[in-house]
Amino acid sequence: MNVKNTALRLAGAAMMAVALAPWVGGAAAQAAVTVHLDKKWIGTSSTSATVVHADCIYEELTATHAGTGWHFVLPGGDGLTTFTAYFQTAGALTVTTTETATGVIVQGGKGAVIYTPTDDTLVAGPSTYPGDGEAADAGTGDMQLSHICTGTTPSPTPTPSQSSVPVTSSAPVTTPASTPATTPPASVLPTSATPAVSVKGTKAGTVKSVLPHTGSGVPVGLLLATSLALLLGGGALMMLPGLAPARGKRRRH
């Protein structure tokens, strides 16, 4: 009897563990990892001849920034949410996914651009690295300095609309006052040369909701219902061994 009760409790616990696994796994996947800027960049100056200078034209940079821009990248990584670089003169400068005068996370979370007021030099921070950040995926190695930003972010060039282009005519067009009708008027009955496109069968429910950060393609509603069913079933199995003695006592009384 004890073996049977133990088996029931273990089966119930297993069902509850399976029910909670997708949600616990999703929460764990959301935890950010710490990334660092490679120590080899300590002592690097923006005026150094070995540092590449190029434009920093990224869609996240929408304003014109003053000073010297530093573009850092996360090799093979993704989901960068915050990054701090340490400079000799400017001190610790931090950027996030929200653009400020200091800069912003760029390339969809694969890099960061930080602006120092003047030319500056990278130094070691409290962690002994010249930069620290947080990302969803640490990638294949430490962050690297890509280049120093030059130039400014250009404003989008408006495309002239068709109506704004003047239309000129090389010769005046003369329209006769009246033209006698020599042929019967054409029929204006509607024709159906091209069949209408049917939109039946388009259902919002066909789009699956994916549990964030788990990669599960199971709709969240179905996953939730399955988890609840497993929790209830597991709880019932764990309670059965305790209910059996109680029923036996009631019968004896």
> What pLDDT does residue 13 have?
78
> What pLDDT does residue 78 have?
94
> What pLDDT does residue 250 have?
62
Q: Is the dihedral angle over the CA atoms 9, 11, 12, 18 positive or is it negative? A: positive
- Residue 146 corresponds to which tokens in the numbers above? 């890509």
Contact (CB, 8 A) for 88 and 123: yes
* Residue 211 φ then ψ, to 5°: -60, 125
Contact (CB, 8 A) for 237 and 15: yes
> What pLDDT does residue 150 have?
85
Q: Is the dihedral angle over the CA atoms 128, 129, 133, 137 positive or is it negative? A: negative
Smallest CA-to-CA distance from 124 within 82, 73, 72, 88 is with 88
Contact (CB, 8 A) for 104 and 96: yes
Q: Which helix (H) or strand (E) holds 93?
A: strand 91-96
- Residue 227 corresponds to which tokens in the numbers above? 């988890």
Instruction: Report the C-alpha gap between 238 and 188 in whole angstroms.
Output: 78
- Tell me the per-residue pLDDT of 38-55, one tens digit each, with 9 for 90 and over: 999 999 999 999 999 999
> What pLDDT does residue 233 have?
78
Residue type, 136: A
What is the model's pTM? 0.53
> pLDDT truncated to tens, each residue of the chain (253 aa)?
576 677 767 777 777 776 666 655 444 445 799 999 999 999 999 999 999 999 999 999 999 999 999 999 999 999 999 999 999 999 999 999 999 999 999 999 999 999 999 999 999 999 999 999 999 999 999 999 999 998 655 545 444 444 444 444 445 545 445 544 444 444 444 444 444 433 333 333 333 333 444 444 455 567 677 777 887 877 777 777 776 666 666 666 5
Q: What is the mean pLDDT of the chain?
A: 75
Beta bridge partners of 148: 53, 70
Classify residue 155 by burial, with Cβ atoms within 10 Å: 0-12, 13-18, 19+. exposed
Instruction: Report the C-alpha gap between 69 and 47 in whole angstroms.
Output: 12
- Tell me the per-residue pLDDT of 182-203, one tens digit each, with 9 for 90 and over: 444 444 444 444 444 333 333 3
**End-to-end alpha carbon distance in the chain:** 22
Alpha helix ranges (H) inside the chain: 2-29, 220-252
